[in-house]
């Protein structure tokens, strides 16, 4: 179930984003922004390593024999389930964000009115897969398109920039094209849409986009002379005077007209920071350690489930043995206490046997025993069929749950052991 997966990834996602955001300034200033931009790859790879166990970390299916017991009272009539509220809220929020982006993209595309430019009119050679267009609605060079990318430049591009600046700006856009940044932006936007309720996701997205622009600057200026750096900085200031409209998956030379970012880019150009071999080695080692830790944590979580504990024997081995411990629901619908039983002060218990499918849904519910007979069976079965468990690798069969129907917590009704136990001796 997708929502269950989102909930499972909240903790590792938060940990990853905290590490990246807190270390961002240190890495950007001590090494380079190109390094900090590359480190954003840890987010998708980290979540994948958390969710998908490695071959040597395969966990055996848990055998479930322990009976789970739940108390049911007349006052516990389930009208609103928090999990379902969250699902609907998440769905609506994600839908609104995607719709806004699509509308923005369509409106922007319709206003462009593109005119194709011949390659020989440009001051440098453009990749053959990339067509160049002019538009009166473009205020800065940018890449647009998903399946077929286009480089769009303003109508006055050749008037407001000198030839050296034109070359540098086009090289900046080609850098985006060569790195497939539009597709990385699509992945980043997808994460924002899925985790729109998480404030760190928004902070990380804007930091990611800033690193994307500055890292392109550093790539373009890596082997350029001082005069080229000056010309490039002047081009940034010229671009900052205009404000291009937002667009879905748009890569703009001036990044949405953010003047703060422009000054940061100029500051980085002046610093001309290059990563050292030792620094890169430390970053790689830390990244590998972080990914390995997330992979192990994800494997450990699949073993622990919702129980929150693990035996010392399991902690010593990467492939834990089977444990006979009951699963616990992540969403539980309380049975409706029968009105007749409540009016007649009848209390009792029901033991149910059921299977849990791989998606966490409940199947094949059967009544093992009911006390008193047939009083609480129907409401117990109806409720259990709506329970939701954590997704499993295999179908978990023959699970047992006991529902105790009590009029209040101070009930004097005897605590029944509904499963008969027989002690065998010599």
The CA angle 277-283-289, to the nearest 5 degrees, is 135
Q: Is the dihedral of CA 115, 116, 121, 126 positive or negative?
A: positive
CA distance 69 to 368: 14
Q: How confident is the model at residue 269 (pLDDT cuts 50, 70, 90)?
A: low
Judge contact between 290 and 40, C-beta under 8 A. no
Find how far residue 292's CA is from the centre of its chain: 18
> How many residues comprise the chain?
426
pLDDT value at position 355?
92
C-alpha R_g of the chain: 30
3 state SS of 410: coil
Span 357-380, average pLDDT: 90
CA distance 245 to 111: 10
Span 217-231, average pLDDT: 83
- Inter-helix orientation angle 2-30/277-304, to 10°: 160
Per-residue pLDDT tens for 104-133?
Answer: 888 888 888 888 988 888 888 888 888 999
pLDDT at 290 over 80: no
Span 57-81, average pLDDT: 52
Q: Which two tokens stand for residue 174?
A: 């080609």
Mean pLDDT of the chain: 77
Span 72-99, average pLDDT: 70
pLDDT value at position 414?
79
Of 80-89, 154-163, 206-215, the one with minimum mean pLDDT is 80-89
Per-residue pLDDT tens for 233-245?
Answer: 888 777 766 554 4
pTM of the model: 0.62
Span 159-185, average pLDDT: 90
CA distance 334 to 353: 17
CA distance 258 to 266: 13
pLDDT value at position 254?
47
pLDDT at 157 over 90: no
Q: Which two tokens stand for residue 393?
A: 């690798």
3 state SS of 312: helix
Find how far residue 317's CA is from the centre of its chain: 29
Q: Is the dihedral of CA 150, 173, 166, 158 positive or negative?
A: positive
Distance from first CA to last CA of the chain, Å, rounded? Answer: 50
Q: Which two tokens stand for residue 119?
A: 């390659």
pLDDT at 426 over 70: no
pLDDT value at position 69?
66
Neighbours of 37 (CB within 10 A): 26
Per-residue pLDDT tens for 12-48?
Answer: 889 889 999 998 888 888 888 888 888 898 888 888 8
pLDDT value at position 113?
84
Per-residue pLDDT tens for 377-417?
Answer: 999 999 999 999 888 888 888 888 888 888 887 778 877 76
Q: How confident is the model at residue 314 (pLDDT cuts 50, 70, 90)?
A: very low
- Inter-helix orientation angle 42-51/2-30, to 10°: 140
CA distance 252 to 161: 16
**Selection from 239, 221, 272 nearest residue 161 by Cα:** 239
Q: Where are the beta strands (DSSP E) in 334-426?
A: 348-356, 362-371, 388-389, 396-405
pLDDT value at position 48?
84
Running DSSP on this structure, what letter comes out for residue 120? G
pLDDT value at position 362?
93
Q: In what order do the strands lie in the sheet with 251-252?
A: 115-116, 131-135, 150-154, 142-144, 251-252
Span 337-363, average pLDDT: 90
Neighbours of 149 (CB within 10 A): 21
pLDDT at 68 over 80: no
pLDDT at 206 over 80: yes
CA distance 67 to 64: 9
pLDDT value at position 196?
92
Span 86-113, average pLDDT: 86
pLDDT value at position 156?
85
φ, ψ (nearest 5 deg) of residue 338: -55, 130
**pLDDT, greater one: 266 or 387:** 387
φ, ψ (nearest 5 deg) of residue 371: -140, 115
- Residue 11's contacts (CB-CB under 8 Å, 6 or more residues apart) are none
pLDDT at 296 over 60: yes
**pLDDT, greater one: 107 or 84:** 107
């Amino acid at each position: 179930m997708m929502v269950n997966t989102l909930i499972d990834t909240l903790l590792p996602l938060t940990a990853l984003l905290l590490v990246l955001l807190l270390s961002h300034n240190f890495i950007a200033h001590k090494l380079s922004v190109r390094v900090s931009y590359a480190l954003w790859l840890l987010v998708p790879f980290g979540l994948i390593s958390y969710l998908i166990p490695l071959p040597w970390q395969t966990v055996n299916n848990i055998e479930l024999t322990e009976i789970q017991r739940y108390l049911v009272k007349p006052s516990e009539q389930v009208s609103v389930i928090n999990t379902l509220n969250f699902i609907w809220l998440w769905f609506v929020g994600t839908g609104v964000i995607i719709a806004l982006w699509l509308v923005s993209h369509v409106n922007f595309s319709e206003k462009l009115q593109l005119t194709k430019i011949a390659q020989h009119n440009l001051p440098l050679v453009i990749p053959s897969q990339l067509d160049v267009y002019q538009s009166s609605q473009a205020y800065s060079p940018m890449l647009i398109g998903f399946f077929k990318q286009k480089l769009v430049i303003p109508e006055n591009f050749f008037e407001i920039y000198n030839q050296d600046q034109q070359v540098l700006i086009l090289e900046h856009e080609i850098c985006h094209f060569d790195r497939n940044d539009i597709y990385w932006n699509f992945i980043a936007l997808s994460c924002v849409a899925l985790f729109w309720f998480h404030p760190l996701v928004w902070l990380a997205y804007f930091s990611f986009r800033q690193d994307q622009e500055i890292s392109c600057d550093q790539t373009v200026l890596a082997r350029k002379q001082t005069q080229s750096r000056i010309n490039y900085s002047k081009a940034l200031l010229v671009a900052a005077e205009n404000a291009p409209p937002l667009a879905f998956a748009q890569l703009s030379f001036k990044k949405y007209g953010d003047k703060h970012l422009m000054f940061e880019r100029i500051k980085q150009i002046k610093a001309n920071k290059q990563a050292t071999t030792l620094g890169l080695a430390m970053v790689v080692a830390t990244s590998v350690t972080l990914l390995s830790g997330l992979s192990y944590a994800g494997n450990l979580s699949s073993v622990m489930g919702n129980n929150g504990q693990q035996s010392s024997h399991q902690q010593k081995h990467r492939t834990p043995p089977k444990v006979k411990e009951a699963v616990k629901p992540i969403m539980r619908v309380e049975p409706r206490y029968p009105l007749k039983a409540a009016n007649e002060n009848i209390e009792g218990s029901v033991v149910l046997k059921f299977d849990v499918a791989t998606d966490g849904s409940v199947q094949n519910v059967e009544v093992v025993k009911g006390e008193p007979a047939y009083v609480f069976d129907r409401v117990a079965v109806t409720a259990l069929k709506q329970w939701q468990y954590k997704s499993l690798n295999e179908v978990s069969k023959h699970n047992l749950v006991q529902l105790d129907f009590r009029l209040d917590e101070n009930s004097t009704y005897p605590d029944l052991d509904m499963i008969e136990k027989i002690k065998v001796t010599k």
